[in-house]
Structure 1
Amino acid sequence: MTVQHEPVGTADPRLDHRGLWRERGFPAFWLGQGLSQLGAQFAAIAMPIVAVTVLDATDAQMGFLHAAETAAFLLVGLPAGAWLDRMRKRHVMIVADLVRVVAVALVPLLFLAGMLEIWHLFVIGAVVGVATVFFDVGYQSFVPVLVRDEHVGPANGALEATAQTMRLGGPAVAGILLRVVSAPLLLAANAVGFLLSAISLLLVRDDEQVKPKHERQHLVREIAEGLRFVARTDFLVRIVGTTALTNLGASIAMTLSPILILRILGLDPSVYGLLMTLGAIGGLAGSVLAMRIARRIGEGTALSLSTLLFCGSAALLPLSVLWPAAAVPMLVVFEVLLGFGILVYNVIQVTARQRICPKPLLGRMNASIRFVVWGVMPIGALLAGWLGTAFGTIAAIWVGTAVAILGGLPLLLSPYAWMRQLPTRPAEEPVAAP
């Protein structure tokens, strides 16, 4: 039996937000995730700079690094969802945060000892990736547990808005700090962010009830149940198709973008950080406006237009090389449009996913989707390394751009593309023509 959720567009958004901040545990959860995101922005700047400028990484090594960071979603993504549905999600997230604290802190320690090598980044990236799988699947599945159904949409919007705010300020601060400290030392702030996230989760109280052991099925059967739910829900199949293809293309392009920006265009690392900061303005606007846009023009229409926006803007990244004098403005526009489109898309589709899925299946549903849409990323990273080595960095980025643009088709050619309200349960899905 499917749990019925109130459609996101039916309640007054002002009432939603007032009620949200009175939800027990949400303010502490929100604060901890905001601090964690701030530290993560330092890592997003520091890791590729360490690889490219400190360790002189090649295209292939950048591919291996990004593959190591994302491989866990392909290797352990499915069982992670089933395990999470058997455990208290908050407890799992705390352990994942503490693992990430230890792993990330090793980078500055190894650097200070004069022992840091590129393979260390591969191993640390892989460990952090495994912990992130468990944290992220638990994170997406925990929001509907922590807040009432009518507050799920506003909660997702508030969390994404905060994340984008940190993405706005974090890279700028990182860029300034890079003028006085080396990139590896910035990763210490990332470790502190994960530690603060764990502390905030310790302060949260929730009423999650774990399924008793005698009611559980075999692990493989429970994994299959999550996969079947996704495969039989046409809306989720379309979302998975679009997200997976765009992630594959983006993984190819973004794996090599630090080489394009720092080495080919020759921009300073502080400018690299500033670009990410300016790009986060689009993401912040998207996270704040996503649900308002959905209410105004319809959820399906907003989802489709945001898809067109972030897919179309992808071409600006490789085009920036053709006009070096205009490269920085083009990269700023690229980051802003990309961030806005992705955040509108993510807030709407994640809310719809949470709304359409029964709560006992949330962990497995999210893990099944993450297995595919994040599982393609290490494949894309390895392809980036191979394509960059064989045909050159720019040609490889163009291939990734083309794949990302084509990725919008599964959603744009679906019956959900221009719907006023997306389904609240599988039975409401329109039947596609045979």
Structure 2
Amino acid sequence: MTASVPAAAPVVPAPVVPAAVVPAASPPGLLRRHRDFRMLWIGETANKYGSAVTGLALPLIAVGTLHASTLQVGLLGAAGWLPWLLIGLPAGVWVDRLRCRPIMLAATTASLLLYATVPLAALAGTLTLWHLLAVALLAGGAGVFFQTAYTAYLPQLLAPADQSEGNAKLHGSASAAGIAGLGSGGLIAQLAGPVNGLLANTATFLLSLWCTARIGHREPARTGRPRRALRREVGEGLQLLASDVWFRTFALFGAASNLVLTGYQSLLVVFLIREVGVGEGTVGLLVALASTGGIVGAAVARRIAARLGSSRAMLVLELALPALTVLIPLTGRGAGLAWYLVGGFGASCGVVAGNVIKATFQQRYCPPELLGRLSASGAVLNFGSIPLGALLAGLLGTELGVRPAMWLMTAGVPLAALVLWCSPLRRVRDLPTERRAPVREKGSRRCRSTRRDTAGGAVLGARGRGGTGQDGTGRVGRRGWQAVSVRVVSRPGGRCG
């Protein structure tokens, strides 16, 4: 008799989990996996910190060491912005013609050498106000080239999918560096003196120079585009800024916003000390606390844009949050200081978060061969309104008083944002990601412009001057530098750029 073989246990197949259900491992952060971006991020953070310290040290040297008048201190501040009006447009052309990284290295080296002459002249007993003005003017010129090249270089370093994260990290670290620079700049000046503090601060420029030099990415030689007359290439950047409804919208908004932001910021210290009655140490603490809004804005910008859409997020961030600045003139002693903290925090948060979205948009939307000229053209318009805002606020403060002038300047912040509200931004959900040059039709003076829609769908055609988008409203651009940047966040509240 044959022995019976026990039956094998039935094999139960493992449940099949659909691929869509299995959570994909999130890729490591950009700073961990991208060495070149890490070098750029460290160098730019050091650069922003050094700029914040220097921006405080130069006026302290002028007042404490050279006994400069109020007008002379104002001229010293204006000297740093004047190069944008003088050389901003041709700088954009040169950046588009040459490699960006060598320009950044040369500009950082020039700033390092220029600022080092100040403590050396003080040691020799030859430091004068004219020396400070010359350093501020020439270092501002180096900053024009650095910022323009930096804006055009980042899209070459990062893939389009990484640009949003990269911009968020750069803007967040710039806000943090600005806060640290404002806080430590006064301490350094108090412990070592403003002149010696400026000498110690050259270490930040050395770090920035070293990190930029360590970037491994090498740009190809720009030999494919024939060089034309400088005036013609400058005109191409201006024409792009003026003809594209989106670029034009953000440029006008940046100029109007910078006018009023600079206005109230130029009165802020006088307002807090003379009108509110707080001490100088308290002013620094209040400004640092309000400026933390920039760090928060950089952290949440991408999430808000993903949830609301980049266009709608821009309206919320640039209209709703900065509108809180109207609370600042209500500031009083004690618990009344909360009005300034809420208003300043909202402005910083909205400025930086909006810059993150706009920087990513411009890098994707603008033709790479025009990015330097477009950035410089927008920056000339944006930064040109900064000295006008300071002058206007000074005149209003003299004629009407500091608190009424603060009311007028802060009320202008939400009014400036109406430029965005009246633009195509409120009629679309997302900003476009691709721009096509307009094509002239046979037998017609009008142009037909085509581009892929923001969702990656079919190519759409539209008629009209400069082309229109899928809803017949046109395209979206961004405000100036940041940006670069866009707004400059080394001072409380930030600026549009």
Specify if TM > 0.5.
Answer: yes
Range 210-219 or range 333-342, more displaced: 210-219
Residue equivalent to 2:479: none
Tell me the amino acid that sits aligned with residue 313 of structure 2: A
The yes-or-no answer on 1:413 pairing with 2:422 is yes
Partner of 1:180: helix, strand, or coil? helix
**TM-score of the superposed pair, with normalisation by structure 1:** 0.86
Residue in structure 1 matching 2:391, options 382, 389, 413 = 382
Q: Could you tell me how far 1:57 is from its partner in structure 2? A: 5.7
Residue equivalent to 1:30: 41
Residue equivalent to 2:489: none
When residues 60 and 418 of structure 1 are mapped into structure 2, their CA distance, relative to the original with a 3 A threshold, is: farther
Residue equivalent to 1:181: 192
Tell me the amino acid that sits aligned with residue 253 of structure 1: Y
Residue equivalent to 2:473: 432
Residue equivalent to 2:443: none
Residue equivalent to 1:3: none
Aligned equivalents of 2:247, 2:170: Cα separation in 1: 22
The Cα RMSD (Å) is: 2.9
Residue equivalent to 1:126: 137
Whether the aligned pair in 2 keeps the contact of 1:62 and 1:255 (CA below 8 Å) is: no
Aligned equivalents of 1:175, 1:272: Cα separation in 2: 12
Whether the aligned pair in 2 keeps the contact of 1:261 and 1:272 (CA below 8 Å) is: yes
Tell me the amino acid that sits aligned with residue 215 of structure 1: P
Aligned equivalents of 2:265, 2:132: Cα separation in 1: 18
Residue in structure 2 matching 1:92, options 78, 99, 103 = 103
Q: Could you tell me how far 1:46 is from its partner in structure 2? A: 3.2
When residues 304 and 285 of structure 1 are mapped into structure 2, their CA distance, relative to the original with a 3 A threshold, is: same
Range 93-102 or range 273-282, more displaced: 273-282
Structure 1 alignment gaps of length 5 or more: 1-11
Residue equivalent to 2:245: 234
1:253-293 Cα offsets, whole Å, 9 max, x none, are 22333333455555444433323322232111111111111
1:186-222 Cα offsets, whole Å, 9 max, x none, are 3334432222211111111223224228722221111
When residues 231 and 61 of structure 1 are mapped into structure 2, their CA distance, relative to the original with a 3 A threshold, is: same
Identity rate, percent: 33
Aligned equivalents of 1:309, 1:184: Cα separation in 2: 42
Residue equivalent to 2:349: 340
When residues 281 and 60 of structure 1 are mapped into structure 2, their CA distance, relative to the original with a 3 A threshold, is: same
Aligned equivalents of 2:25, 2:311: Cα separation in 1: 22
Runs of 4 or more consecutive aligned structure 1 residues displaced over 6 Å after TM superposition: none
Q: Could you tell me how far 1:168 is from its partner in structure 2? A: 3.7
Residue equivalent to 2:317: 306
When residues 42 and 230 of structure 1 are mapped into structure 2, their CA distance, relative to the original with a 3 A threshold, is: same
Aligned equivalents of 1:408, 1:199: Cα separation in 2: 40
1:38-88 Cα offsets, whole Å, 9 max, x none, are 222322443444556666665544442332121111221111100101111
**TM-score of the superposed pair, with normalisation by structure 2:** 0.76
Q: Could you tell me how far 1:134 is from its partner in structure 2? A: 0.8
Whether the aligned pair in 2 keeps the contact of 1:291 and 1:348 (CA below 8 Å) is: yes
1:219-239 Cα offsets, whole Å, 9 max, x none, are 111111111122222111111
Q: Provide the aligned length of Structure 1 versus Structure 2.
A: 420
Whether the aligned pair in 2 keeps the contact of 1:240 and 1:369 (CA below 8 Å) is: yes
Range 75-84 or range 213-222, more displaced: 213-222
Structure 2 alignment gaps of length 5 or more: 1-22, 436-450, 454-468, 475-497
Q: Could you tell me how far 1:13 is from its partner in structure 2? A: 12
Whether the aligned pair in 2 keeps the contact of 1:303 and 1:417 (CA below 8 Å) is: no
Residue in structure 1 matching 2:78, options 54, 67, 75 = 67
Residue equivalent to 1:7: none
Task: Decide which structure has greater helix share.
Answer: 1
Residue in structure 2 matching 1:368, options 352, 359, 377 = 377
1:94-113 Cα offsets, whole Å, 9 max, x none, are 11111111222344445556
Whether the aligned pair in 2 keeps the contact of 1:307 and 1:345 (CA below 8 Å) is: yes
Whether the aligned pair in 2 keeps the contact of 1:62 and 1:256 (CA below 8 Å) is: no
Alignment map for 1:87-236 (pairs within 5 Å): 87-111=98-122, 118-212=129-223, 215-236=226-247
Bigger relative contact order, structure 1 or 2 (CA pairs below 8 A, ≥6 apart): 1
Partner of 1:217: helix, strand, or coil? coil
Aligned equivalents of 2:282, 2:57: Cα separation in 1: 13
When residues 366 and 172 of structure 1 are mapped into structure 2, their CA distance, relative to the original with a 3 A threshold, is: same
When residues 333 and 122 of structure 1 are mapped into structure 2, their CA distance, relative to the original with a 3 A threshold, is: farther
Q: Which has the larger radius of gyration?
A: 2
Residue equivalent to 1:277: 288
